[in-house]
C-alpha cells in the first residue's frame, strides 16, 4: 500500500497504526502540498455492507462538525475496492501513549486537555452527534498542547431509533459507560462518563476497572465503584476528585447535564484550589483604592471640593473602621483556638451533629447506602482525628447511611452462566466465584436449574448469588464387563456395547500370564455398577506371555449303532476356540493333542452335549 496514490492526489507515505476496522496511514496531498491522514477500510470488510456503512457514517459525522478541537475531514472516496477517508494530519501523539510514557499528568495539564475535549463534545452534542467511543487513543495532542478528538466511526445521531445497540459491545471496554455495557440507551452523558474515565486515568496513570476478560470489566462498570483517585495520587485536589466521580456516576441523571457544565466545573475546581493555595482573601481593600476627590453639589448648582477638615474626619472614620474590623477579626477568627475534629463515625446523625456543633463546627450531610452501618448513622466524615486541626466554624461533611441498598434477585432459571452473570450485574449483584454442577432431567446441560438466594428476594447490593448448573439428565447405570485377555480394540468394542468408554491413558506392563497386547487388569473391576458414559482404565501386557504347551484329550464314542460329532473346545489366554470337530463311528476311541497357552479349560461335546471338562493350570 505504501507509495500508492489515491484519487490521483493522495500519496501514502507510511503506516501509523490502525484498529479492528481500518488502517491509518500518513499521506501527502500532492495538490495542496500538505501532510494528511488517510484512513483505509480493511480489505476483509469491504464486502460487508454494515462495515462500509459504519465507515461512511464516520465521514458524515465529522463532515457535520467544524470545531478546532475535532480533527477535520478533507475528503472521502473509493478507488477500486479501497474505501478511504482523508483527514487533517495532527503533529503529535495520542493521549494513551502520553500517559504510558509520562505516567500521571499534573492536574493543570490534564484539565487543559479535558476542557478542550469538553468543548469538542459540546459541539458534537449540539449537532446531535454522540461519539460513543471516547478514550485516550482517540484524543490527539499536538506538540503545542492542543487537544483534538478523532475517530467518529462509532458515532450515532441522537434519535430514538439509534440510541441502543444490543448486538455487540463495541469500543474499548475500559471506557464504556454502564448503559453501554448493558446495551441500553446511549446519549451525550455516556460520552461524559467515558471522558470522566479518561480524566481518572490521566491523573492516576491507571484505568479505574481491570479484569481478566472484557465481560468482567463491563460488569465492574455496571456494579462496582472505582477506587478513590486521591488514594492512587494524593496530589489530586478534593474538588477535582468530586468532578471526576460525578462524571463517572453510574446513573446518567446524576452526571453533568452537558459537556459545557462539566468544563465549567473543572475550571471552577481548579481556580478554587489555586486560590486556596495562594492564600487569597476576599473582601480586602487598601485605603484610598476607590476614592477620588468628591464634588458635592450645593443649593444653586455650585460645586465645591471637600475641605481639608472633611478629609481629616473621613480619614479618622476610615482608621476607626479598619481598627474595629481588625479587632473583630482577631477576636472571632485569629484568636479562635484550633481544635481536633473528633471521630463521630458509627454515631447517629443527631449525636454526631450535637458533638460537632457543640465545638462550634458546622455540619453538612450527604447520604449513601451501606450494608454494615445502620440507617441514620454516620458512615464517614471528610475531616477527622487523623487530619490537621481546624478553626471553628469550619464545616465538616458527614456521610450518613441509608441502610443496605437492597436489590431484587433476578430469576436465573434456564439461563446460561454468561447471561446470568450479566443479569446479576444489571441488578447490582454478582455471581459467586464457583458454581455448582449436578444432573437435572428437565434443564439442558450448561443451563441454571437452581439459585441461592432465591429469585425475587431482596438482597444487599453486591450480594454473591450461587447458581447450580445442569449436567443434563442423569445417565443410566451399567455394569463393567470383563475385559481380561481382550486386545485393546476388543475391549473398546465390549465397553461401547455397555455405553462405557475406554480410558485413553493405557498402561503397559510385563506379563507371563497374558500374551502381548492383551488386557491383564482393569479398573473398575468386572461387574462393578457405574453410570453410562463412565471410563474404564486398563493395563495391557507387553509380553513375554506364557509358553505354549500340549495336552492330550482321549474320547470314547458309544457303541449305539450311530455316528456322532465330537467337538473339542479350548479356552486359554488366547480366548475360546474350537480346536477339533469331526464325526466318528460308534465304538471309536481316539486321543487328540491340543496346543494351548497358560491356564486352559478343555470341553468335549458329543452332538453338542457336554460330556467332559478338564482344566490344566498354567
- Positions annotated as catalytic residues are 133
**Signed CA dihedral, 277, 283, 284, 285: sign only:** positive
State the Cα–Cα distance between residues 107 and 111, nearest whole angstrom. 6
State the Cα–Cα distance between residues 262 and 193, nearest whole angstrom. 11
Taking the alpha carbons at both ends of the chain, their separation in whole angstroms is 80
State the Cα–Cα distance between residues 53 and 74, nearest whole angstrom. 19
Query: For residue 567, which of 550, 553, 581 has the smallest C-alpha distance?
Result: 581
Beta bridge partners of 11: 5, 28
Q: Are 596 and 575 in contact (CB under 8 A)?
A: no
Q: Are 566 and 581 in contact (CB under 8 A)?
A: yes
Q: Is 253 exposed, middle or buried (0-12, 13-18, 19+ CB in 10 A)?
A: exposed
Q: Are 406 and 441 in contact (CB under 8 A)?
A: no
Per DSSP, the three-state class of 560 is coil
C-alpha cell at position 169: 459491545
Q: Are 224 and 215 in contact (CB under 8 A)?
A: no
> Whose grid coordinates read 492564600?
279
Query: For residue 577, which of 587, 586, 585, 567 has the smallest C-alpha distance?
Result: 567
The CA-atom distances, in angstroms, between 110 and each of 69, 141, 245 are 15, 11, 16
State the Cα–Cα distance between residues 491 and 291, nearest whole angstrom. 113
Triad 159, 163, 164: Cα angle to 5°: 150
Q: What are phi and psi of 34, to 5 degrees?
A: -145, 155
DSSP 21-42: SEEEEEEEETTTTEEEEEEEE-
Amino acid at each position: 500500500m505504501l507509495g500508492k496514490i489515491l484519487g490521483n492526489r493522495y500519496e501514502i507515505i507510511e503506516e501509523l497504526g490502525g484498529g479492528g476496522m481500518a488502517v491509518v496511514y500518513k499521506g501527502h496531498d500532492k495538490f495542496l502540498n500538505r501532510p494528511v491522514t488517510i484512513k483505509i477500510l480493511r480489505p476483509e470488510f469491504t464486502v460487508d455492507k454494515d462495515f462500509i456503512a459504519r465507515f461512511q457514517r464516520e465521514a458524515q459525522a465529522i463532515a457535520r462538525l467544524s470545531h478546532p478541537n475535532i480533527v477535520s475531514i478533507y475528503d472521502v472516496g473509493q478507488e477500486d475496492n479501497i474505501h478511504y477517508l482523508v483527514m487533517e494530519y495532527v503533529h503529535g501523539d495520542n493521549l494513551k501513549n502520553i500517559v504510558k510514557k509520562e505516567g500521571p499528568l499534573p492536574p493543570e495539564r490534564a484539565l487543559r486537555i479535558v476542557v478542550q475535549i469538553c468543548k469538542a463534545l459540546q459541539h458534537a452534542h449540539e449537532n446531535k452527534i454522540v461519539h460513543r467511543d471516547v478514550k485516550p487513543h482517540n484524543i490527539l495532542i499536538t506538540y503545542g498542547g492542543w487537544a483534538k478528538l478523532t475517530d467518529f466511526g462509532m458515532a450515532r445521531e441522537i434519535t430514538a431509533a439509534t440510541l441502543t445497540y444490543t448486538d455487540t459491545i463495541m469500543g474499548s471496554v475500559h471506557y464504556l459507560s454502564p448503559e453501554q455495557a448493558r446495551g441500553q440507551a446511549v446519549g451525550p452523558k455516556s460520552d461524559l462518563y467515558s471522558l470522566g474515565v479518561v480524566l481518572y486515568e490521566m491523573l492516576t496513570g491507571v484505568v479505574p476497572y481491570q479484569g481478566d476478560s472484557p465481560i468482567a470489566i463491563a460488569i465492574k462498570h455496571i456494579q462496582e465503584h472505582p477506587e478513590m483517585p486521591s488514594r492512587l495520587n494524593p496530589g489530586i485536589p478534593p474538588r477535582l476528585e468530586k468532578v471526576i466521580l460525578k462524571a463517572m456516576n453510574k446513573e446518567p441523571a446524576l452526571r453533568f447535564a452537558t459537556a459545557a457544565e462539566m468544563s465549567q466545573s473543572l475550571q471552577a475546581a481548579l481556580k478554587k484550589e489555586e486560590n486556596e493555595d495562594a492564600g487569597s482573601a476576599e473582601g480586602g481593600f487598601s485605603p484610598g483604592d476607590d476614592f477620588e476627590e468628591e464634588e458635592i453639589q450645593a443649593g444653586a448648582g455650585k460645586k465645591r471640593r471637600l475641605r481639608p477638615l472633611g478629609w481629616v474626619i473621613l480619614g479618622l472614620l476610615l482608621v476607626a473602621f479598619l481598627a474595629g474590623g481588625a479587632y473583630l477579626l482577631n477576636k472571632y477568627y485569629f484568636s479562635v483556638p484550633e481544635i481536633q475534629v473528633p471521630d463521630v463515625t458509627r454515631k447517629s446523625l443527631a449525636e454526631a451533629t450535637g458533638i460537632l456543633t457543640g465545638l462550634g463546627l458546622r455540619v453538612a450531610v450527604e447520604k449513601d447506602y451501606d450494608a454494615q452501618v445502620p440507617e441514620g448513622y454516620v458512615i464517614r466524615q471528610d475531616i477527622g482525628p487523623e487530619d490537621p486541626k481546624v478553626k471553628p466554624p469550619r464545616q465538616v461533611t458527614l456521610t450518613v447511611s441509608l441502610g443496605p441498598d437492597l436489590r431484587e434477585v433476578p430469576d436465573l432459571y434456564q439461563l446460561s452462566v454468561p447471561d446470568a452473570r450479566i443479569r446479576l450485574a444489571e441488578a447490582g449483584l454478582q455471581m459467586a466465584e464457583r458454581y455448582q454442577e449436578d444432573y437435572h432431567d428437565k434443564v439442558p446441560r450448561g443451563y441454571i436449574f437452581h439459585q441461592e438466594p432465591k429469585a425475587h428476594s431482596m438482597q444487599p447490593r453486591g450480594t454473591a448469588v450461587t447458581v447450580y448448573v445442569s449436567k443434563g439428565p442423569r445417565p443410566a447405570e451399567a455394569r463393567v464387563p470383563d475385559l481380561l485377555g481382550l486386545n485393546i480394540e476388543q475391549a473398546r468394542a465390549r465397553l461401547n456395547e455397555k455405553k462405557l468408554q475406554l480410558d485413553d491413558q493405557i498402561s503397559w506392563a510385563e506379563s507371563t500370564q497374558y500374551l502381548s497386547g492383551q488386557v491383564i487388569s482393569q479398573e473398575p473391576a468386572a461387574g462393578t455398577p457405574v453410570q453410562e458414559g463412565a471410563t474404564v482404565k486398563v493395563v495391557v501386557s507387553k509380553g513375554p506371555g506364557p509358553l505354549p504347551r500340549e495336552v492330550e484329550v482321549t474320547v470314547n464314542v458309544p457303541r449305539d449303532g450311530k455316528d456322532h460329532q465330537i467337538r473339542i473346545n479350548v479356552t486359554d489366554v488366547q480366548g475360546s476356540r474350537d480346536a477339533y470337530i469331526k464325526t466318528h463311528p460308534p465304538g471309536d476311541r481316539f486321543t487328540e493333542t491340543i496346543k494351548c497357552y497358560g491356564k486352559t479349560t478343555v470341553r468335549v461335546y458329543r452332538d453338542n452335549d457336554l460330556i467332559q471338562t478338564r482344566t490344566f493350570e498354567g
